[in-house]
């Protein structure tokens, strides 16, 4: 292993890290919004809309992100819809993440005891107020472990962005290996930079979970 070679590659990996994190977190934000909206829709008594959401969830949970990215990047232009590789990346990540987040939020919503909503209704609160002030805060709190696990999963899935020519961390490593054959150095840097991206999220998730357990059980 040559430390000087690794040092010379650092600027390239730094730029790739910023790109990967930007697209990754854009996808995570889209996934959170989609997941919350779809989970709320599933709670409504609207069979047609619920079926649409159910089809979306099953479709995106049961197909790989790589296939979805290929469809967005290579298939859509065939019908006149062209989007950049970067937009394709965060949209694809957001769509698959939204399907997983939907199930996570739905579990949280289902955990709310019916007596709480009935009590809120008896106090004269509207359905929106009940959802906003009674159901949603508790559902989100109980969903935090699943949300954090999904976020880490989605950030790791950014490794497939290289297949649509995005200069992410994986693309940078493969490109440098192909040009200079410094496999050990390139892969070592790849592992380090993925740890830089993911380890803070994992640590923050552990801290949040501990605080939630402390708040719930008082010890």
User: Region 57-74: what's the mean pLDDT?
Assistant: 91
Question: How many angstroms separate the CA atoms of 43 and 28, rounded?
Answer: 23
Residue 141: count of CB within 10 angstroms of its CB: 13
Model pLDDT, residue 213: 66
Provide the percentage of residues in the chain whose pLDDT is more than 70: 96
| DSSP track, 80-141 | T----HHHHHHHHHHHHHHHHHHHHHHHHHHTS-HHHHHHHHHTT--HHHIIIIIIHHHHHH
The answer to whether 197 and 20 have CB atoms below 8 angstroms apart is yes
For 87-109, write each residue's pLDDT tens digit: 999 999 999 999 999 999 888 87
CATH number for the domain running over 3-217: 1.10.3720.10
| Per-residue confidence (pLDDT) for residue 216, from 0 to 100 | 53
What are the pLDDT digits (tens) for 153-200?
A: 999 999 898 888 888 899 999 999 888 888 898 999 999 999 999 999
Per-residue model confidence (pLDDT) at position 214? 66
Indicate the range of 2-6, 122-126, 144-148 predicted with least confidence: 122-126
Residue 187: predicted pLDDT: 92
Q: What is the pLDDT of residue 21?
A: 93
Domain positions in the chain: 3-217
pLDDT of 17 reads 94
pLDDT in tens, 27-56: 999 999 999 889 888 877 778 888 899 899
Can you read off the two tokens belonging to residue 97? 């993440």
């Amino acid at each position: 292993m040559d430390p000087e070679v690794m040092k010379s590659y650092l600027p390239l990996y730094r730029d790739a890290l910023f790109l990967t994190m930007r697209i990754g977190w854009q996808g995570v934000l889209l996934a959170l919004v989609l997941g919350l909206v779809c989970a709320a829709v599933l709670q409504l008594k609207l069979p047609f809309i619920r079926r649409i959401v159910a089809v979306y969830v099953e479709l995106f949970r049961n197909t790989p992100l790589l296939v979805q990215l290929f469809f967005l990047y290579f298939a859509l232009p065939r019908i006149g819809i062209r989007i950049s590789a970067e937009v394709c990346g965060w949209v694809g990540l957001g769509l698959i993440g939204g399907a997983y987040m939907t199930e996570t939020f739905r579990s949280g919503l289902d955990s709310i005891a019916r007596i709480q909503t009935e009590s809120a209704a008896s106090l004269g609160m509207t359905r929106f107020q009940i959802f906003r002030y009674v159901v949603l805060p508790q559902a989100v709190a109980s969903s935090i472990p699943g949300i954090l696990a999904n976020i880490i999963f989605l950030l790791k899935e950014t490794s497939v962005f290289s297949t649509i020519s995005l200069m992410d961390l994986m693309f940078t490593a493969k490109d440098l290996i192909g040009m200079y054959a410094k496999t050990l150095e390139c892969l070592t840097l790849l592992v380090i930079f993925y740890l830089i991206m993911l380890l803070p999220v994992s640590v923050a998730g552990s801290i949040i979970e501990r605080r939630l357990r402390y708040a719930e059980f008082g010890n």
